[in-house]
Amino acid sequence: MHVTMIGSGYVGLVSGVCFADFGHNVICVDKDAGKIEALRRGEIPIFEPGLEQLVADNVRAGRLSFSTDVETSVAASDVVFIAVGTPSRRGDGHADLSYVYAAAREIAQHIKGFTVIVTKSTVPVGTGDEVERIIRETNPDADVAVVSNPEFLREGAAIEDFKRPDRIVIGLNDDRARGVMTEVYRPLYLNQAPLLFTARRTSELIKYAANAFLAMKITFINEMADLCEKVGANVQEVSRGIGLDGRIGSKFLHAGPGYGGSCFPKDTLALAKTAQDYDSPVRLIETTISINDSRKRAMGRKVIAAMGGDIRGKAIAVLGLTFKPNTDDMRDSPAISIIQALQDAGAAVTGYDPEGMDNARQLIDNIAYADDAYSAARDADALVIITEWNQFRALDFGRLKSVMKAPVLVDLRNIYRHDEVTKHGFAYTSIGRPMNG
């Protein structure tokens, strides 16, 4: 099959290269000429484990190429995916669909023959209807089926997720697209990955419902962690105790500084806004959003409390800036609000992240950036772990103590045990665990 991917970001690039790896001929298009030039040189604009090699293999095999030219790629394609960004709209929190609609308009002008247009971007219910309307308005002769196929991959494990998905959701109202989509996903289908066909609107809602549920699950355990601290219980044991129940499941039950990233914050907000528009508010999700928002700054207060309550003029080292490990994505990372809270209280912050510092520099002003954990910690009055990169899981506490001004560790991801830190003379604070836990 000939496939065009419009938008070559985290989702478009990973999906495009995986489709090429399935044996399809794929052109990844982006309007960012710099990105396309870099990709043509073999440089990958994002950090995603395994991506560079997979791109190189598929380019070499002649199945994957990169272009800024929508016209030639769309005209030659059986399937065109839209994988552009759908950020929060400034001001009201609805999903900003301007990139999706612009892509639909561009695609419409160049369609030749029956073409399946697939929205892979996360879009509110009814967007497929509008994409179809735009295409018919722009090019009344275009023969298209507009399909919803939301993406569930996780950054940091994106290739594995794409190639071994729990399910593939395909929403369509035109049966001609069913065979085409089955063919596109054929290798996964043969591997027994469930293909769930639904109506288009249902598929659009499934993506938001999934993300909202996961955000709610994280927020639930975060609130349990706060309660654990008050009652002297251990949230990790609570997680295990409830997660072993098959009805609950153990994933997404790790207490931490609040969810962030390029999806959960904007998608929960967009769902809440859509639901309000339809006069069917999703109050659980509205509450989830507000709990999570206040949690990030509360984590700043937790650090301040761990340092004795007054941090004016103190130095704080922060390890991990991205919203989770194994990505360079800084969008809506909890680190941004936490660092801001520490700066507001008068501290000087030095940060280190294995992959996220280039992106962090665009978003976080007035902090110093270090080359590794130990140089970040030099002369610091406290060390804060915000993101649980593997390289922070076995820190040399003796070495840290020798370079820090005060041995204070605040572990917002619970990656250490109390005894293994305190035996080195550190004061240790974590999330939802008793002091001896």
Q: Which stretches of the chain bind ligand NAD, using CB under 6 A? A: 6-12, 29-32, 35, 83-86, 99, 102-103, 106, 121-122, 151, 153, 155, 262-263
Judge contact between 321 and 360, C-beta under 8 A. Answer: yes
Rg (Cα) of the chain, in Å, rounded? 23
Taking the complex as a whole, the smallest distance from the CB of residue 371 to ligand NAD amounts, in Å, to 27
Spatial neighbors of 18 by CB under 8 A, at least 6 apart, are 54, 159, 162, 163
Considering the complex, state which of residue 268 and residue 429 has its C-beta at the smaller distance from ligand NAD.
268
Judge contact between 170 and 197, C-beta under 8 A. Answer: yes
Considering the complex, state which of residue 83 and residue 382 has its C-beta at the smaller distance from ligand NAD.
83
Which residues are registered as beta bridge partners of 169? 196
Taking the complex as a whole, the smallest distance from the CB of residue 84 to ligand NAD amounts, in Å, to 4
Query: Which helix H or strand E contains 146, and what residues bound it?
Result: strand 144-148
Task: Supply the DSSP string of 197-214, one letter for each residue.
Answer: EE-HHHHHHHHHHHHHHH
Q: How far apart are CA 275 and CA 260, in angstroms?
A: 22
Spatial neighbors of 396 by CB under 8 A, at least 6 apart, are 374
Spatial neighbors of 235 by CB under 8 A, at least 6 apart, are 221, 224, 225, 228, 255, 414, 431, 432, 433
Considering the complex, state which of residue 103 and residue 412 has its C-beta at the smaller distance from ligand NAD.
103
- Map residue 3 onto helix, strand or coil: strand
Q: How far apart are CA 391 and CA 252, in angstroms?
A: 22
Taking the complex as a whole, the smallest distance from the CB of residue 167 to ligand NAD amounts, in Å, to 14
228 in catalytic set: no
Q: Which of 18, 28, 228, 263 is catalytic?
A: 263
Considering the complex, state which of residue 381 and residue 388 has its C-beta at the smaller distance from ligand NAD.
388
Residue in the structure block whose two tokens are 């030219």: 69
Taking the complex as a whole, the smallest distance from the CB of residue 327 to ligand NAD amounts, in Å, to 8
Tell me how many degrees the CA angle 107-108-109 measures, rounded to the nearest 5: 95
Considering the complex, state which of residue 58 and residue 262 has its C-beta at the smaller distance from ligand NAD.
262
Judge contact between 304 and 370, C-beta under 8 A. Answer: no
Q: Which two tokens stand for residue 280?
A: 């069917």
Taking the complex as a whole, the smallest distance from the CB of residue 290 to ligand NAD amounts, in Å, to 21
Considering the complex, state which of residue 207 and residue 302 has its C-beta at the smaller distance from ligand NAD.
207
Taking the complex as a whole, the smallest distance from the CB of residue 234 to ligand NAD amounts, in Å, to 31
Considering the complex, state which of residue 263 and residue 335 has its C-beta at the smaller distance from ligand NAD.
263
Taking the complex as a whole, the smallest distance from the CB of residue 109 to ligand NAD amounts, in Å, to 12
Q: How far apart are CA 63 and CA 197, in angstroms?
A: 28
Nearest to 24 by CA among 191, 192, 188, 178: 188
What residues are labeled active site? 263
